[in-house]
Amino acid sequence: MKKILSIVLIGLVCSCAFNMKAKDGKDGENAKPTISQEAIKTSMEYLASDELGGREAGSEGLEKAAVFIEDYLKANAITPYFKTYRDSFKLNDIDAYNIVGVVEGNDPKLKNEFVILGGHYDHIGKGKVVEGDSIANGANDDASGTIAAMELGAYFAKTKTNKRSILITLYDAEEKGLKGAAHLAARLKSEAINAYTMINFEMIGVPRDSTEVMAYMSGYKRSNFAETLNGYAGEEVVGFFPGAQQMNLFMRSDNFPFFKELNMPAHAISTFDFTNFDYYHHVDDEADKMDYEHMVNFINKMIPALEGMMNAPTKEVVLKEAVLKNE
């Protein structure tokens, strides 16, 4: 137990220790935080550790992951959206829970609109045994996306540069059929949340080939989300991946319940395209196989893209009804 607690504490300290540098290289109150490889690696090495046993829904390891995420949100001034960080639900006879925090927007009017960022923090638990190893650690799937959402939440909580409010949502039971996301989306709908858009970070721990766009978006043609993000990023960060359409990835990840319930642009962004990582649902999906330089680069490119979209005076991102009708 002492070992586990020490790892958690180290993770929290590193995650909170943003490198504060002004544009001129000097320390300053107006400097913006930078995303560090060390902080990401520390979080990854805990969430994808053998200690957590593969983070299957209902397991002791999943509970430990939930506590780690709650502690991270609290330490980084991301407050609970509900009475606590937990959005609890039943999965048959299992107690399950999404983790939900909020970063309030700084605009008196626009703060009532919400941008939802998320990723699933559960995984499959055990996998096919390889050289005596049966733990499917789920580093890329989806500790990487979970950490991206956490880091972005911490960044905006620190800088307070978001006019719209941000929900940081980490989902349980994705591997059981998107159950956590479905529960949360239905709950938010019942509470009449003014939700604008949703991004689900799904497997962003490894880079694509250098000839490809850095990331791709599922359901690319369903809205103008990608072109809006790219416009604010100043480059094509999110592209079209034909395989996503062929494999129907739009309906296979946690963005789909939000699209279905809230009728808004909701997409998954990924840098894993089934050609650049051999360990999907495999016991070797481990922390030491993640590319932390790539993860930092991806998150840093998402910051101005998200910031521009969050701060636009009107809702620029819209569904393409003509595309939806022809599906």
Query: What is the mean predicted confidence (pLDDT) over 134-155?
Result: 98
Q: What angle do CA 325, 264, 118 make, to 5 degrees?
A: 130
Contacts for 300-303 with beta carbons within 8 Å, 24 or more apart? Answer: 300/34, 300/35, 301/214, 301/233, 301/235, 301/237, 302/148, 302/152, 302/229, 302/233, 302/237, 303/152, 303/155
Q: Which residue has the higher pLDDT, 325 or 206?
A: 206
What are 271-301's pLDDT values in tens digits? 999 999 999 999 999 999 999 999 999 999 9
Residue that has been written with the tokens 């089934």 in this structure: 274
What are 79-104's pLDDT values in tens digits? 999 999 999 999 999 999 999 999 99
pLDDT of residue 31: 76
Q: Does residue 20 contact residue 27 with C-beta atoms inside 8 Å?
A: yes
pLDDT of residue 7: 46
What are 150-170's pLDDT values in tens digits? 999 999 999 999 999 999 999
What are 46-78's pLDDT values in tens digits? 999 999 999 999 999 999 999 999 999 999 999
Q: Does residue 81 contact residue 167 with C-beta atoms inside 8 Å?
A: yes
Domains of the chain, each with CATH number or no CATH: 2-325 (3.40.630.10)
**Separation of CA 286 from chain center:** 18
